[in-house]
A and B are shown apart, each in its own frame.
Chain A
Amino acid sequence: MHDEVILLFEQCLNGLQFGLLLFLLAAGLTLVFGIMDFVNLAHGSFYMLGAYFAATFAALTQSFVLSAVLALAATLAVGMAAEVIAIRKLYGRDHLDHVLGTFGLILFFNELVRLIWGPAGMNLALPPYLSTSIEILPDVYYPAYRLAVIMVALVVAFFLYIVVMRTRVGMLIRAGASNREMVSALGINIRLLYTFVFGVGAALAALAGLIQAPILTVQIGMGENILIVALVVIIIGGIGSIRGAFIAAIFVGLVDTVGRAFLPEFFRLVMTPAAASALAPALSSMLIYLLMAAVLVLRPQGFFPADGR
């Protein structure tokens, strides 16, 4: 029994870590969607760019933390540039135009990465102090890096909450979401604000990407699969809501990881091992989509829709 409790605890940590990672990605997505009413499929490209920048800077500077900071700054710049050059032209148009435009950007960024870094992918190595495991409970070890990821993501989430809810910039962002014309009538440069928000969203995606880079590998198209999960998160959480994204991300992370871990055992109780091992992986990979479908039926606006929607 004791072992099972420890395993459940460990799986919850795994789920929490995955959920927080999803939050970093979903936060930028939901901000951009909520504030600019803009569907950004290219969000996964910034996730990929963050990872590539970090791997490149790590090779140059030999410092993990420094390369992370540089990668964030670089992706912020690329995100703002993309907003000024391409995204800005698409505001106020149909959502289908957004989807088409940003899908084009995905192809553009994938090819760009292939031209610059080649098709083979890269590695981002962890510094020795992070590539060990820590005894979190007596005789229970957990990878130090995954613990660090949990801490960093929690700090970022808290910081984001403070900025959006408690500062003047956050007030402008929320006001811009509710009534764009009124904010600009009050003399606020709304275009600049949008560029800034888009850049911050890109930087958040880059943070998720570079965090994931040492666990996975850095490769072309790495942001595409996870973007789908991030979209599930913002649908469940309610579009435009940071709080909704946070809670939904952790929820999705836990359901996915814990479901994957325990569904096979659960099925083995009620059916033959062969049938269980055929059905469980199939069902566990569908779990979060079933969850999303249930939310769409019961509460189409999501758990915590942003105000004024």
Chain B
Amino acid sequence: MRKSVVAISALIACLGVPALAQQKSVKIGFISTFSGPPAVIGNDMRNSFELALDHLGRKVGGLPVEVIYEDDQQKPEVGKQKTDKLIESDHVDFIVGYIWSNVLLASLKPAIDSKTIMISSNAGPSQIAGELCSPYFFSTSWQNDQTPAAIGLYMNQKGVKSAYLVGPNYAAGKDMMAGVKATFKGKIVGEEYTRWPDQLDFSAELSKGRAAKPDAMFVFYPGAAGVQFLNQYVQAGLKNQIPLYTAFTIDETTLPRQGENALGIPGAQEWVNDLPNDANKKFVADYKAKHKASPSFYGAQSYDAALLVNSAVAAVKGDVARKADMIKAMEKADFASVRGSFRYGNNHFPIQNFYLQDVVKGPDGMPVLKTVATIVKDDQDVFHDKCTMK
């Protein structure tokens, strides 16, 4: 009797101990939009994330990695459901992605409550940078207000005295308007919010913009809406009348369809495909070779997210249960970011440079994005004071 107990114990020891020692694989949930027109963005994010894993030898922190991709359909309620599913039934160690601020805001609570580390590789709502900040949340993008704030500074440089603002009526749209208003010193002669995401005809807003006779127009229309806005802006003959300044309206996912309409229209960005650091050169070249297209900032931020996960898992030598230590490692931003080096603020949003991007004709005659200047260096969002983390 006693013998058999020992034998069984030994058997358990033999089976169990190695299983504990070799650790499981790292599980990452990735939420983005993979259906409908924004699938172009979601695919760019997935392609870039996968490319980063290729560059890491399909391992993070030395452990094999499994990624589960889920489609949020650009709907907050679906995004939250998928987040719940990834946490409760897949038990992921990290949850990455999120294009849309309203989807991210809806999905934040389940991640924080379950202490799952969440990395937004695009959306940066002001609430999460401020009062909703959490040790378990990191951003590899920006806080929404920062990019338009940079373009506001550039509009001052260009001597713009009055501006008319248009954007979609959802969380990010409101942040973008607030961002440009925070830095732009001229007069705001009009501020329009359009139905999102289904309003695609901007004739009423463009007519009002023309009638307001501003020095410049500022818009924020991510994805396909940016193609439509630019089309209608050019058709209305406004391109020669009222210069356009943009945030997240012209990028590599929309440029093929915006074409010549986009030439000469400036925007601000924390990453542009031609940034001259080595990590970026490798990312852009390998992406182009693999996908026959240029990566966008959505992709660049997702690439960085994979490197951030890698730095966290490596710091705890694969013991992903040590969450506090992983968070401490992530706060160092100790990896070769494709935007160049940056550091994290107390609210886990990057403190980073913002560049002026322009659309010019490339060597083959097709329009491409190009870095022109640095608008602002080491910029930190304005909401970090409201975050109670130190």
- Provide the A100-139 mask, 1 if CB < 8 A to any CB of B, else 0: 0000000000000000000111010010000111000000
B residues 216-241 near A (Cβ < 8 Å) are 224, 227-228, 231-232, 234-237
- A14, B203: Cβ atoms closer than 8 Å: yes
| Other-chain contact of B211, A10, A215, A257, A285 (Cβ < 8 Å) | A10
Give the secondary structure class of A's interface: helix
- B37, A257: Cβ atoms closer than 8 Å: no
Q: Does A219 contact B (CB under 8 A)?
A: yes
- A219, B204: Cβ atoms closer than 8 Å: no
Interface segment among B122-130, B194-202, B344-352: the answer is B194-202
| Other-chain contact of B204, A6, A131, A261 (Cβ < 8 Å) | A261
Q: Does A98 contact B (CB under 8 A)?
A: no
- A145, B235: Cβ atoms closer than 8 Å: yes
A126 with B204, Cβ < 8 A, contacts A120-B40, A121-B257, A277-B191 known: no
- Provide the A4-37 mask, 1 if CB < 8 A to any CB of B, else 0: 1011001100100110000000000000000000
A214 with B201, Cβ < 8 A, contacts A120-B40, A281-B193, A285-B195 known: no
Q: Does A3 contact B (CB under 8 A)?
A: yes
Closest CB of chain A to B96's CB: distance in Å? 22
- Bound complex: CA of A120 vs CA of B35, how far in Å? 10
> Using Cβ atoms and an 8 Å threshold, which residues of chain A touch B198?
225
> Using Cβ atoms and an 8 Å threshold, which residues of chain A touch B194?
260, 281
> Using Cβ atoms and an 8 Å threshold, which residues of chain B touch A146?
203, 235
Q: Does A264 contact B (CB under 8 A)?
A: yes
> Using Cβ atoms and an 8 Å threshold, which residues of chain A touch B231?
214-217
> Using Cβ atoms and an 8 Å threshold, which residues of chain A touch B16?
none
- B211, A6: Cβ atoms closer than 8 Å: yes
- A14, B207: Cβ atoms closer than 8 Å: yes
> Using Cβ atoms and an 8 Å threshold, which residues of chain A touch B191?
277
| Other-chain contact of B200, A132, A214, A216 (Cβ < 8 Å) | A216
Give the secondary structure class of B's interface: helix
> Using Cβ atoms and an 8 Å threshold, which residues of chain B touch A123?
227, 257, 259
| Other-chain contact of B201, A18, A131, A281 (Cβ < 8 Å) | A18
A257 with B204, Cβ < 8 A, contacts A141-B237, A264-B192, A281-B195 known: yes
> Using Cβ atoms and an 8 Å threshold, which residues of chain B touch A145?
235
Closest CB of chain A to B232's CB: distance in Å? 6
- A10, B37: Cβ atoms closer than 8 Å: no
Closest CB of chain A to B146's CB: distance in Å? 22
- Bound complex: CA of A119 vs CA of B39, how far in Å? 7
Q: Does A220 contact B (CB under 8 A)?
A: yes
A133 with B237, Cβ < 8 A, contacts A215-B228, A217-B227 known: yes
Chain A residues touching B, range: 35 or more
> Using Cβ atoms and an 8 Å threshold, which residues of chain A touch B201?
18, 215-216
- B236, A141: Cβ atoms closer than 8 Å: yes
| Other-chain contact of A217, B203, B204, B257 (Cβ < 8 Å) | B257
Closest CB of chain A to B322's CB: distance in Å? 41
Q: Does A221 contact B (CB under 8 A)?
A: yes
| Other-chain contact of A11, B204, B235, B257 (Cβ < 8 Å) | B204
Closest CB of chain B to A44's CB: distance in Å? 13
Q: Does A143 contact B (CB under 8 A)?
A: yes
- A131, B207: Cβ atoms closer than 8 Å: no
Closest CB of chain A to B370's CB: distance in Å? 23
> Using Cβ atoms and an 8 Å threshold, which residues of chain A touch B195?
281, 284-285
- Bound complex: CA of A14 vs CA of B235, how far in Å? 13
> Using Cβ atoms and an 8 Å threshold, which residues of chain A touch B210?
141
- A217, B36: Cβ atoms closer than 8 Å: no
Q: Does B208 contact A (CB under 8 A)?
A: yes
Q: Does B169 contact A (CB under 8 A)?
A: yes
> Using Cβ atoms and an 8 Å threshold, which residues of chain A touch B36?
219-221
By beta carbon, the residue of chain A nearest B40 is: A120
- Bound complex: CA of A261 vs CA of B211, how far in Å? 12
| Other-chain contact of B208, A17, A261, A285 (Cβ < 8 Å) | A261
By beta carbon, the residue of chain A nearest B192 is: A264
- A10, B207: Cβ atoms closer than 8 Å: yes
B residues 223-278 near A (Cβ < 8 Å) are 224, 227-228, 231-232, 234-237, 257, 259
- A260, B40: Cβ atoms closer than 8 Å: no
> Using Cβ atoms and an 8 Å threshold, which residues of chain B touch A285?
195, 199
- Bound complex: CA of A214 vs CA of B235, how far in Å? 10
- A132, B203: Cβ atoms closer than 8 Å: no
By beta carbon, the residue of chain B nearest A261 is: B204
B residues 280-314 near A (Cβ < 8 Å) are none
Closest CB of chain A to B241's CB: distance in Å? 8
Closest CB of chain A to B379's CB: distance in Å? 26
- Provide the B12-44 mask, 1 if CB < 8 A to any CB of A, else 0: 000000000000000000000001110110000
B residues 105-152 near A (Cβ < 8 Å) are none
- B224, A143: Cβ atoms closer than 8 Å: no
- B169, A7: Cβ atoms closer than 8 Å: no
> Using Cβ atoms and an 8 Å threshold, which residues of chain B touch A3?
211
By beta carbon, the residue of chain A nearest B236 is: A143
- Bound complex: CA of A18 vs CA of B199, how far in Å? 12
- Bound complex: CA of A285 vs CA of B237, how far in Å? 27
> Using Cβ atoms and an 8 Å threshold, which residues of chain A touch B205?
261
Besides A123-B259, A146-B203, 4 new A-B residue pairs in contact (Cβ under 8 A), listed by A number = A120-B39, A126-B235, A143-B236, A214-B235
Binding site for B on A (CB under 8 A): 3-4, 6-7, 10-11, 14, 17-18, 119-121, 123, 126, 131-133, 141, 143, 145-146, 214-217, 219-221, 225, 257-258, 260-261, 264, 277, 280-282, 284-285
A/B interface sample: 26 pairs, CB < 8 A: A4-B211, A7-B207, A7-B211, A11-B204, A18-B203, A119-B35, A120-B37, A120-B39, A120-B40, A121-B40, A123-B257, A133-B235, A143-B235, A215-B235, A217-B231, A219-B36, A219-B224, A258-B204, A260-B204, A261-B205, A261-B208, A277-B191, A280-B193, A281-B195, A282-B169, A285-B199
A-B pairs, 4 with minimum CB distance: A133-B237, A14-B203, A7-B211, A281-B169
